[in-house]
Structure 1
Amino acid sequence: MAEANAKRGSQAARPLSPHLQIYRPEVNMVMSILHRLTGAALYFGTLIVVWVLVAAASGQEYFDYATGLLGTWPGLIILFGYTWALLNHLFGGIRHFIWDFGYGYDIEMIDLLSWATAAAAGALTILIWGYILFSGGGADL
């Protein structure tokens, strides 16, 4: 036992397993972390959706109160973030679905799918909110 400990002590001090200090962030790593974070964020955003639905079922006055709060700048920022989180998680799920069928495992395709996830989520979020704000759908915002 003493020999084993002495032998271990002679090796270079290094972590037992690689971690963030070893790896530089890659796009697929960042998108994987974002997929998990947006999944968690969707739980809280869905509470807002439920709150609005309950407000709609409770009557016009409470519905106006709920949508009035969401129509403020902080409320719009939260809804914008919820939209982005929903779309990022959706496209990340599609990326994982492609991988579930065994496709896209070469490093170029992994990077392409990761960048496509980020681009599609960002572009579609901006298109949706551009439509809402500039088409008259958000005229009372």
Structure 2
Amino acid sequence: MSDVREALMVGRNSEGKLVRRPLSPHLQVYKPQLSSVTSILHRGTGVVLGIGTLLLAAWLVCAATSDGAFSVIQSLFATWLGILILFGFTVALFYHFCNGIRHLLWDAGRGFELPDMHRTGRYVFVATAVLTVAFWIIAFLVW
């Protein structure tokens, strides 16, 4: 094991000489900060949205197939687990949307100062909560 670890820490400099290089610290070393948490969550919600899109496609296929298939998938989504999955999907959707707007501002060259990054990061979490709760309130009123 130590041989493998030693091999990972050896590299060559521009002159071709062997030099020892430190391993790059990762999540076990750094304390989570708002910018790293929002970045990780943005990637995670992208994965969740991909999986949720497959569920949406399954729902549409069942709706197009037959009344029986549609009633089966509807009954699955009507369970507490199904509602929890749908709730998680909407949280992921609104978070990814709001953080995507934040990234668009960054693409325009705005919001790179540390106080701005922290403020907009907090805005993303607040907007996600407000949009998710508003969506579900409206969904239950219409349902």
Instruction: Give TM-score scaled by structure 1 length.
Output: 0.81
Q: Which has the higher strand share?
A: 2
Unaligned runs of 5+ in 2: 1-16
Greater relative contact order (Cα < 8 A, sep 6+): 1
Instruction: Quote the residue 2:42 is aligned against.
Output: 35
Question: Moved runs in structure 1, 4+ residues, more than 4 A?
Answer: none
Report how far residue 15 of structure 1 moved.
Answer: 4.5
Instruction: Quote the residue 1:11 is aligned against.
Output: none
Same amino acid, percent of matched pairs: 41
More divergent stretch after superposition (15-24 vs 85-94): 15-24
Unaligned runs of 5+ in 1: 9-13
- Per-residue CA deviation, residues 21-67 of structure 1 (Å, 9 max, x unaligned), is 33221111101000000101111110110011111111222212211
Report how far residue 18 of structure 1 moved.
Answer: 3.6
Question: RMSD of the alignment, in Å?
Answer: 1.9
State how 1:1-141 maps to structure 2 within 5 Å.
15-133=22-140, 135=141, 137-138=142-143
Instruction: Give TM-score scaled by structure 2 length.
Output: 0.80
